[in-house]
Amino acid sequence: MPETLTFLLGGARSGKSAHAERLITQIPAPWTYIATAQAYDDEMRERISIHRDRRGEGWQTLDAPLDIAGALGSVPEGAPVLVDCLTLWLTNHMLADHDVEAECAALADVLSRPRGPWFVVSNEVGLGIVPDNALARRFRDDAGRLNQKVAAVADAVLYMVAGLPMKVK
Protein backbone atom coordinates (compact mmCIF):
# COMPACT_ATOMS: atom_id res chain seq x y z
CA MET A 1 0.00 0.00 0.00
CA PRO A 2 1.58 3.36 -0.94
CA GLU A 3 2.69 5.65 1.87
CA THR A 4 1.19 8.90 0.67
CA LEU A 5 -0.58 11.88 2.13
CA THR A 6 -3.55 13.27 0.17
CA PHE A 7 -4.84 16.61 1.48
CA LEU A 8 -8.40 17.69 0.60
CA LEU A 9 -9.19 21.33 1.19
CA GLY A 10 -12.37 23.27 0.51
CA GLY A 11 -15.23 25.35 1.82
CA ALA A 12 -18.32 24.29 3.73
CA ARG A 13 -20.43 21.79 1.74
CA SER A 14 -17.82 21.54 -0.99
CA GLY A 15 -17.93 17.75 -0.90
CA LYS A 16 -14.53 17.26 0.78
CA SER A 17 -15.56 14.34 3.01
CA ALA A 18 -17.58 12.55 0.33
CA HIS A 19 -14.72 12.83 -2.16
CA ALA A 20 -12.19 11.62 0.42
CA GLU A 21 -14.46 8.62 1.09
CA ARG A 22 -14.69 7.92 -2.65
CA LEU A 23 -10.90 7.95 -2.91
CA ILE A 24 -10.18 5.79 0.14
CA THR A 25 -12.80 3.17 -0.72
CA GLN A 26 -10.99 2.48 -3.99
CA ILE A 27 -8.42 0.82 -1.69
CA PRO A 28 -9.55 -2.51 -0.13
CA ALA A 29 -11.18 -2.31 3.36
CA PRO A 30 -10.83 -2.00 6.30
CA TRP A 31 -10.72 1.79 6.42
CA THR A 32 -10.04 3.80 9.57
CA TYR A 33 -11.97 7.03 10.07
CA ILE A 34 -10.36 9.42 12.56
CA ALA A 35 -13.12 11.77 13.67
CA THR A 36 -12.21 15.08 15.28
CA ALA A 37 -15.78 16.36 15.74
CA GLN A 38 -17.14 16.82 19.23
CA ALA A 39 -20.89 17.12 19.66
CA TYR A 40 -21.32 20.42 21.50
CA ASP A 41 -24.91 20.89 20.35
CA ASP A 42 -27.75 19.34 18.37
CA GLU A 43 -26.66 20.85 15.05
CA MET A 44 -23.24 19.22 15.43
CA ARG A 45 -24.72 15.94 16.65
CA GLU A 46 -26.85 15.80 13.52
CA ARG A 47 -23.88 16.50 11.23
CA ILE A 48 -21.82 13.76 12.90
CA SER A 49 -24.66 11.28 12.59
CA ILE A 50 -25.21 12.09 8.87
CA HIS A 51 -21.51 11.56 8.17
CA ARG A 52 -21.46 8.30 10.16
CA ASP A 53 -24.56 6.97 8.37
CA ARG A 54 -23.02 7.65 4.96
CA ARG A 55 -20.11 5.42 5.79
CA GLY A 56 -21.11 1.76 6.15
CA GLU A 57 -19.48 -1.65 6.34
CA GLY A 58 -15.72 -1.82 6.37
CA TRP A 59 -15.18 1.30 8.48
CA GLN A 60 -13.67 1.58 11.92
CA THR A 61 -14.09 4.96 13.66
CA LEU A 62 -11.60 6.43 16.12
CA ASP A 63 -12.61 9.58 17.99
CA ALA A 64 -9.70 11.98 18.26
CA PRO A 65 -10.90 15.47 19.10
CA LEU A 66 -7.40 16.42 20.33
CA ASP A 67 -4.93 13.62 19.60
CA ILE A 68 -4.84 12.86 15.87
CA ALA A 69 -1.19 11.79 16.11
CA GLY A 70 -2.01 9.20 18.81
CA ALA A 71 -4.90 7.84 16.76
CA LEU A 72 -2.70 7.60 13.65
CA GLY A 73 -0.05 5.81 15.74
CA SER A 74 -2.57 3.13 16.74
CA VAL A 75 -3.38 2.26 13.12
CA PRO A 76 -1.43 -0.66 11.57
CA GLU A 77 1.36 0.09 9.08
CA GLY A 78 -0.01 0.35 5.54
CA ALA A 79 -3.67 0.79 6.52
CA PRO A 80 -5.76 3.42 4.73
CA VAL A 81 -6.87 6.25 7.03
CA LEU A 82 -9.19 9.24 6.63
CA VAL A 83 -8.77 12.17 9.08
CA ASP A 84 -11.85 14.43 9.08
CA CYS A 85 -11.21 17.26 9.75
CA LEU A 86 -8.26 19.43 10.80
CA THR A 87 -10.21 22.64 11.39
CA LEU A 88 -12.43 21.01 14.03
CA TRP A 89 -9.31 19.58 15.70
CA LEU A 90 -7.84 23.10 15.68
CA THR A 91 -11.06 24.50 17.19
CA ASN A 92 -10.91 21.91 19.96
CA HIS A 93 -7.34 22.89 20.84
CA MET A 94 -8.20 26.60 20.77
CA LEU A 95 -11.20 26.06 23.07
CA ALA A 96 -8.97 24.03 25.44
CA ASP A 97 -6.51 26.93 25.40
CA HIS A 98 -3.62 24.73 24.23
CA ASP A 99 -0.46 25.93 22.47
CA VAL A 100 -1.88 25.86 18.96
CA GLU A 101 1.38 26.64 17.18
CA ALA A 102 3.18 23.74 18.86
CA GLU A 103 0.26 21.37 18.24
CA CYS A 104 0.13 22.29 14.55
CA ALA A 105 3.89 21.87 14.09
CA ALA A 106 3.77 18.46 15.80
CA LEU A 107 0.83 17.30 13.67
CA ALA A 108 2.43 18.47 10.42
CA ASP A 109 5.54 16.53 11.42
CA VAL A 110 3.56 13.30 11.88
CA LEU A 111 1.67 13.87 8.62
CA SER A 112 4.97 14.37 6.76
CA ARG A 113 5.74 10.67 7.36
CA PRO A 114 2.57 8.77 6.34
CA ARG A 115 2.69 5.07 7.15
CA GLY A 116 0.06 4.15 4.56
CA PRO A 117 -2.41 5.86 2.23
CA TRP A 118 -3.58 8.72 4.44
CA PHE A 119 -6.31 11.18 3.45
CA VAL A 120 -6.71 14.40 5.43
CA VAL A 121 -9.63 16.84 5.14
CA SER A 122 -9.58 20.52 6.14
CA ASN A 123 -11.64 23.66 5.67
CA GLU A 124 -10.52 26.75 3.84
CA VAL A 125 -11.94 29.67 5.86
CA GLY A 126 -9.91 32.68 4.74
CA LEU A 127 -11.74 33.83 1.62
CA GLY A 128 -14.42 36.02 3.18
CA ILE A 129 -14.38 39.49 4.70
CA VAL A 130 -12.04 39.97 7.71
CA PRO A 131 -14.17 38.94 10.74
CA ASP A 132 -15.07 41.59 13.35
CA ASN A 133 -14.35 39.13 16.10
CA ALA A 134 -10.71 38.83 17.28
CA LEU A 135 -11.05 35.11 18.09
CA ALA A 136 -12.45 34.42 14.61
CA ARG A 137 -9.51 36.32 13.09
CA ARG A 138 -7.05 34.27 15.13
CA PHE A 139 -8.78 31.04 14.12
CA ARG A 140 -8.72 32.05 10.47
CA ASP A 141 -5.00 32.81 10.69
CA ASP A 142 -4.16 29.61 12.55
CA ALA A 143 -6.25 27.48 10.18
CA GLY A 144 -4.56 29.08 7.18
CA ARG A 145 -1.09 28.46 8.60
CA LEU A 146 -1.98 24.85 9.46
CA ASN A 147 -3.31 24.25 5.95
CA GLN A 148 -0.08 25.63 4.48
CA LYS A 149 2.03 23.35 6.70
CA VAL A 150 0.05 20.25 5.73
CA ALA A 151 -0.10 21.15 2.05
CA ALA A 152 3.69 21.59 2.07
CA VAL A 153 4.27 17.98 3.20
CA ALA A 154 1.39 16.38 1.25
CA ASP A 155 2.01 14.27 -1.85
CA ALA A 156 -1.26 15.47 -3.40
CA VAL A 157 -3.43 18.51 -2.63
CA LEU A 158 -7.00 18.78 -3.92
CA TYR A 159 -9.09 21.96 -3.75
CA MET A 160 -12.76 21.00 -3.75
CA VAL A 161 -15.26 23.15 -5.67
CA ALA A 162 -18.94 22.12 -5.65
CA GLY A 163 -18.04 18.47 -5.12
CA LEU A 164 -15.36 18.42 -7.81
CA PRO A 165 -11.61 18.21 -7.15
CA MET A 166 -9.13 20.70 -8.58
CA LYS A 167 -5.57 19.40 -8.51
CA VAL A 168 -3.33 21.94 -6.75
CA LYS A 169 -0.34 19.63 -6.21
Catalytic residue status for 93: no
Which residue, 13 or 113, is less far from its own copies as judged by CB? 13
The radius of gyration of the chain from alpha carbons, rounded to an integer in Å, stands at 15
Determine which one of 19, 51, 93, 98 is catalytic. Answer: 51
d(Cα 99, Cα 165) in Å, to the nearest integer?
A: 33
How are beta strands 164-167 and 4-10 bridged, if at all?
unpaired
Rounded to 10°, the helix 134-153/86-95 angle is: 140
Binding flag, residue 15, its own copies (CB under 8 A)? yes
Binding flag, residue 42, its own copies (CB under 8 A)? no
Binding flag, residue 92, its own copies (CB under 8 A)? no
Binding flag, residue 12, its own copies (CB under 8 A)? yes
- HSE (side-chain half, CA atoms, 13 Å) at 66: 10
Contacting range for its own copies; rule: CB under 8 A; set: 62-70, 71-79, 102-110, 154-162: 154-162
- At 55 the three-state DSSP class reads coil
Which residue, 5 or 62, is less far from its own copies as judged by CB? 5
Region of 58 (left: φ > 0; alpha: ψ -120 to 50; beta: rest) is left
* Positions marked active-site: 51
**Residues of this chain that bind its own copies (CB under 8 A):** 7, 9-15, 43, 124-131, 134, 136-137, 139-141, 143-145, 147-148, 150-152, 157, 159, 161-164, 166, 168-169
